Amino acid sequence: MDLLEYQGKQLFARHGLKVSQGLAVTTVEDALIAADEVGYPVVVKAQVLIGGRGKAGGVKLAANESEAREHAGNILGMDIKGHTVRTVWIEHASDIASEYYASVLLDRSAKQPLVMFSVEGGVDIEEVAERTPEKLIRHHVDALAGLSHDEGVQIARDGGADDDVVDGVADALVALYEVWLEEDATLAEINPLIVTPEREVKALDSKVSLDGNALYRHPENQSLSDKENEDPLERRAKEEGLQFVKLDGDIGILGNGAGLVMSTLDVVSHAGGAPANFLDAGGGSNAETIKQAVDLILANEAVKAVLVNIFAGITRCDEVALGLIAAFGEIKPSVPFVVRLDGTNDVEGRRLLGEAALPNVHSAKTMNEAAEMVVALAAGQSVGAVA
């Protein structure tokens, strides 16, 4: 779960990282009230879940009310790489002497937390990593011991931070590590971490991703999910407890078990099709779950055909068949379905489906056959063997 800049900064502040005070607003009028409150000059910042806002014109300094009005007016409603700006964050502008970079994430291959630091901040860090890798300090942390202030000092020195801010940078790194660890973040990044002319070290931006599966441990963070920018289908899936990810294609996918669904996506792609979603109805899915899942898949208007791929262990194919029959009774889908039922009670499941004689539902024996059929159907071709 990605956080907006200002939400990330609020987490930072909770752990003692220095940030500027500000307010999140959604109208120009409120932006001006906020600007008065934090004091000019202010910076008007688009709050969208995408980087590079500055380059896209989504971050502007305003010295006075007329500039703030102009910038807030321009930025609210702006499209930044497909993300519409609905909220701007107004904070008191900082003076900048240097822009550094800092981040904490899990290095899976090393099986250790990784702290990264560079004095080449404010720019695309991937470029720094590529062109001048020696300028990006990578420091692995002993997960049991945590990150000590001394280690922070060493990282700051190795990275070439100015002598007089080495302590301040170390404090910031320790606080950022604490954010990452205690908030169950998968990424905590500051770019830029600035040094002010007064030699204060401060987070000017934030990029924080929280582990959605650990959210139950942080009731105070649950309200942070960006409801407005979240895909409406994914939001609905979450509410219904379905594992659903929207994709760009036109073939709806329903399976049970994440591994099976992943391979179904692969097989469909291999057959020349483009999946419209990932949907894992889960082991032991019953008729009601299947009905909800079908409903959700068909709520995506791009879907031209649906593949139901069930390999039943705990799940029972007869339950899945009953769910499909119930779903067809209520929803009356206008797109063709291909159903492959294999495993527990598959004979019974296929018998139920056959008896129901659902319109436009095709039965397939293997996953490959099912994938080829559904790709053909999505392309508007006819296939044999109606269930």
Residues across the chain: 387
- CA quadruple 10, 14, 18, 22: dihedral sign: positive
> C-beta of 59: minimal distance to Mn ion in Å?
8
Question: Is residue 319 within the footprint of Mn ion (CB under 5 A)?
Answer: no
Sort strands 185-195 and 98-107 into parallel, antiparallel or unpaired: antiparallel
> C-beta of 112: minimal distance to ligand GDP in Å?
27
Fill in the per-residue mask, 126 to 165: x = in contact with ligand GDP (CB under 6 A), - = not in contact.
Answer: ----------------------------------------
Question: Is residue 151 within the footprint of Mn ion (CB under 5 A)?
Answer: no
Question: Is residue 171 within the footprint of Mn ion (CB under 5 A)?
Answer: no
In the list 17, 62, 68, 93, the residue contacting ligand GDP (rule: CB under 6 A) is 93
Q: Which of 91, 99, 120, 189 is catalytic?
A: 189
Q: Which of 101, 120, 151, 178 is catalytic?
A: 101
Question: Which residue's entry shows tokens 């995408």?
Answer: 50
Q: How far is CA 173 from CA 79, 94, 129, 136, in A?
A: 33, 20, 19, 14
Q: Check residue 243 and give left, alpha or beta (phi > 0: left; psi -120 to 50: alpha).
A: beta
Question: Is residue 205 within the footprint of Mn ion (CB under 5 A)?
Answer: yes
- Residues 5 and 85: their CA atoms lie apart, in Å, by 13
> C-beta of 59: minimal distance to ligand GDP in Å?
4
Residues 57 and 41 sit within 8 Å (Cβ to Cβ): no
> Torsions phi, psi of 310, nearest 5?
-115, 125
User: What are the counts of helices (DSSP H) followed by strands (DSSP E) for the chain?
Assistant: 12, 18
Question: Which residue's entry shows tokens 């994709």?
Answer: 247
Closest CA to 175 of 8, 14, 4: 14
> C-beta of 274: minimal distance to ligand GDP in Å?
31
Q: Which stretch binds ligand GDP (CB under 6 A): 6-14, 50-58, 68-76, 338-346?
A: 50-58
Question: Is residue 54 within the footprint of ligand GDP (CB under 6 A)?
Answer: yes
In the list 87, 191, 300, 345, the residue contacting Mn ion (rule: CB under 5 A) is 191
What is the full DSSP assignment across 231-275? -HHHHHHHHHT-EEEE-SSSEEEEESSHHHHHHHHHHHHHTT--B
Question: Is residue 192 within the footprint of ligand GDP (CB under 6 A)?
Answer: yes
Question: Is residue 51 within the footprint of ligand GDP (CB under 6 A)?
Answer: yes
> C-beta of 188: minimal distance to Mn ion in Å?
13
Question: Is residue 94 within the footprint of ligand GDP (CB under 6 A)?
Answer: yes
Question: Is residue 204 within the footprint of ligand GDP (CB under 6 A)?
Answer: yes
Looking at the Cβ atoms of 191 and 289, the one nearer to ligand GDP is 191
Looking at the Cβ atoms of 55 and 270, the one nearer to Mn ion is 55
> Is 101 an active-site residue?
yes
Tell me, letter by letter, the H, E, C secondary structure of 187-204: EEEEEEEEECCCCCEEEC
Q: Among all residues, whose Cβ is closest to ligand GDP? A: 54
Looking at the Cβ atoms of 57 and 359, the one nearer to ligand GDP is 57
- Residues 35 and 37: their CA atoms lie apart, in Å, by 5
122 binds, among ligand GDP, Mn ion, none (CB under 5 to 8 A by kind): ligand GDP
In the list 3, 43, 297, 341, the residue contacting ligand GDP (rule: CB under 6 A) is 43
Q: Which residues of 16-49 are buried (b: 16+ CB within 10 A; e: fewer)?
A: ebbbbebbbbeebebbbebbeebeebbbbbbbbb
Looking at the Cβ atoms of 191 and 292, the one nearer to Mn ion is 191
Q: Which stretch binds ligand GDP (CB under 6 A): 44-52, 211-219, 259-267, 300-308?
A: 44-52
Amino acid at 335: V
* Cα-based angle 274, 279, 280 (whole degrees, multiple of 5): 135
Question: Is residue 23 within the footprint of ligand GDP (CB under 6 A)?
Answer: no
What is the full DSSP assignment across 326-377? HHHHHH--SS-EEEEEEETTHHHHHHHHHHHT-TTEEE-SSHHHHHHHHHHH
Active site residues: 101, 189
- Provide the binding-site residues for ligand GDP, judged by CB under 6 A: 43, 45, 51-54, 59, 61, 93-94, 96, 99, 122, 191-192, 204-205
- Provide the binding-site residues for Mn ion, judged by CB under 5 A: 191, 205
